[in-house]
Amino acid sequence: MKAATGLDYANGNIGVLFRKIFLPTLLGMIFNALITIVDGIFVGNGVGPDGIAAVNIIAPLYMVTTGIGLMLGIGASVLAGIALAANDTRKACTVVSQAFMTGTLVMALIVAVTLIFPSRISRLLGSSDHLLPFAIDYLCWLMPGILFLVWSCIGMMTIRLDGSPKYAMLINVIPAILNIIGDYVLIFPCGMGVKGAAIATAGSIAVGGLMALAYFHRPYVIKLVADTTDFGRNIAKTVAVGSASFVTEIAMSVMMLTGNFIFMKNFGDAGVAAYSIACYLFPLMFMMSNAVAQSAQPIISFNFGNHASGRVTAAFRLSLRVALLCGAIVTTCIFFLSEGIVGLFIPVDSEAGSLATGGLPIFSFCAIFFALNIAFIGYYQSVGKAVRAMTYTLLRGVILLVPLFFVLPTVFPGWGIWAAIPASELLTFLIILSLQAVTPKNFGKGRLAD
């Protein structure tokens, strides 16, 4: 099968295919991460540590939304890829369309509940009384745009499968540019503070979602159809396959919530502000690592459905090598440029700035092992082994991380609190290697199996 724009997943050179998907995907993902990072930079400089801490309080809700979108998008993309390998275009279109329907209904409900109870939601996310006005302001103006985020996530996954990685890239790039412009104008000249940041983010997300929806009206392979055939079964499979991506986002939310609590307990509001800088950098790590996994995904899924085990193995090995390189680059940059990074957000000589400058070099080591873990998890998602992908995701993001956040600051006061995330990623990677060979053997079965 050759995709609409000429990507031959069945016979094309694996390295060339991966490169054609990876470069625009990486660029798009980096721009997507910039939406969050620019918010932090402008809020930190325009509002101060209280503003950046409040945005960090609300961030887990944004991650949950992203997780729902990625879960449905990756699940639908894997199932659609296997269907296309069997020349069942109608099923591929149906699965993608039903993912859009489900995402829209779920997010409409979440947005409604959040806007009805903004104060209660903000407190559940960990806001103190002092930060509550900032948190509510950001939450209420952000939520109307959140619905479109699900459309962007589902769209990007399936558009890459359809053979249009450059269009998927634009769904990230254009909103990111609009967000940067909107952040500056609304926070500084207009003086709208965190409200301005939220409006800029919501508006830019809406543009990306509408771009994703518009793509499927073009005469390519995958189109949106009004078909509810096997709706329950298709959504159940979609959720099962993509669930590790949802859990990854939930795990990042747990990381932020637990970290906010521990840093608040040890250092007060200044600690949350310092930790928030690491939390702004983590999406960049995630997007780079996810770009590797997502670039390999359509190649692996199609060839898994086509029983081409050798091509699946080659794509997986390539993704591991690229993940290692990307992780090493991120670790090096954060380790050596920590002071400059902190200065982008808040004054380095402030209490929060001093905490962050000392902690980021330790935090930076999580990038290498995180990238490798995501490559493994991405492979298992791509071949439909949802339970294994879910297990490793929970291991690195919850089961190991939460206890480490409580134990390490006690055992190693000062720097131990910053080592919890790197330690969790390292231990997960060692467990993965101890449980199986680097290259799993049960490739190319052509069916979903756990």
The 10s digit of each residue's pLDDT in 315-336 is 999 999 999 999 999 999 999 9
Alpha-carbon torsion (30, 36, 39, 40), positive or negative: negative
What b-and-e string marks burial along 58-82, b requiring 16 or more CB atoms within 10 Å of the CB? bbbbbbbbbbbbbbbbbbbbbbbbb
446 vs 81, higher pLDDT: 81
The 10s digit of each residue's pLDDT in 286-311 is 888 988 998 998 899 888 888 898 99
* Residues whose CB is less than 8 angstroms from the CB of residue 70 and which lie 6 or more positions away in sequence, other chains included: 153, 157, 242, 245, 246, 248, 249
Question: What percent of the chain is predicted at pLDDT more than 70?
Answer: 95
The 10s digit of each residue's pLDDT in 349-389 is 999 999 999 999 999 999 999 999 999 998 988 887 878 88
Taking 50 as the threshold, does the pLDDT of residue 25 lie above it?
A: yes
Assess if residue 390 is contained within a domain. yes
Taking 60 as the threshold, does the pLDDT of residue 442 lie above it?
A: no
Query: Minimum mean pLDDT among 39-53, 305-319, 389-403: which range?
Result: 39-53
Average pLDDT rounded to a whole number, residues 29-50:
79
Assess if residue 402 is contained within a domain. yes
7 vs 141, higher pLDDT: 141
* Residues whose CB is less than 8 angstroms from the CB of residue 274 and which lie 6 or more positions away in sequence, other chains included: 263, 267, 352, 353, 355, 356, 359
Assess if residue 186 is contained within a domain. yes
Mean pLDDT of the chain: 86
Between CA 19 and CA 336 the distance in angstroms is: 29
Domain that holds residue 204: 14-435
What are 264's two structure tokens? 């608040």
pLDDT on residue 412: 93
pLDDT on residue 13: 92
Assess if residue 31 is contained within a domain. yes
pLDDT on residue 419: 96
CB 201 within 8 A of CB 408: no
Taking 50 as the threshold, does the pLDDT of residue 447 lie above it?
A: no
66 vs 409, higher pLDDT: 409
Taking 70 as the threshold, does the pLDDT of residue 31 lie above it?
A: yes
The confidence band for 126, taking pLDDT boundaries of 50, 70 and 90, is confident
Assess if residue 61 is contained within a domain. yes
pTM of the model: 0.73
The 10s digit of each residue's pLDDT in 253-291 is 788 889 988 998 899 888 888 998 998 888 788 888 988
Assess if residue 46 is contained within a domain. yes
Most confident of 4-8, 23-27, 38-42, 231-235: 231-235
Average pLDDT rounded to a whole number, residues 205-230:
86
pLDDT on residue 3: 47
CB 183 within 8 A of CB 198: no
Class of residue 333 by CB neighbours under 10 A (exposed 0-12, middle 13-18, buried 19+): middle
Between CA 216 and CA 220 the distance in angstroms is: 8
How many domains does the structure of the chain reveal? 1
The 10s digit of each residue's pLDDT in 338-349 is 999 999 888 899
Between CA 450 and CA 443 the distance in angstroms is: 12
**Dihedral pair phi/psi, residue 8, rounded to 5°:** -95, 95
Assess if residue 442 is contained within a domain. no
pLDDT on residue 443: 38
Taking 90 as the threshold, does the pLDDT of residue 210 lie above it?
A: yes
Between CA 237 and CA 75 the distance in angstroms is: 7
CB 151 within 8 A of CB 213: yes
Assess if residue 388 is contained within a domain. yes
Taking 70 as the threshold, does the pLDDT of residue 440 lie above it?
A: no
The confidence band for 425, taking pLDDT boundaries of 50, 70 and 90, is very high
pLDDT on residue 244: 74
